[in-house]
Amino acid sequence: MATMNVSLPDAMKAWVERQAESGLYSNASDYVRDLIRKDQERKTALATLQAAITEGVESGEPQPLDTADFKRRMRAGHGAG
């Protein structure tokens, strides 16, 4: 595993140390790794959402929603027939 040194203002350093001492993390590195993982997941989710929005915008003119058909498709997709 690689090592990285990071400079933090005193208040942030104290925050990280409190998180590590809370018992949720074994040390400051675990806390920082968790933050990075969550940031990666958030960015992936945002990219997925943006792609879906772009696909919708580029899909053409809006069509009226047929709620009965939508419900049938949702039930069929979840095995509820």
Residue 67 lies in a domain: no
Residue 51 lies in a domain: yes
Domain that holds residue 32: 10-58
Residue 81 lies in a domain: no
The 3-state secondary structure of the chain reads: CCCCCCCCCHHHHHHHHHHHHCCCCCCHHHHHHHHHHHHHHHHHHHHHHHHHHHHHHHCCCCCCCCHHHHHHHHHHHCCCC
- Model pLDDT for residues 26-80, shown as the tens digit of each residue: 999 999 999 999 999 999 999 999 999 999 999 999 989 999 999 999 999 887 6
Residue 1 lies in a domain: no
Residue 14 lies in a domain: yes
Residue 22 lies in a domain: yes
Report yes or no on whether pTM surpasses 0.75.
no
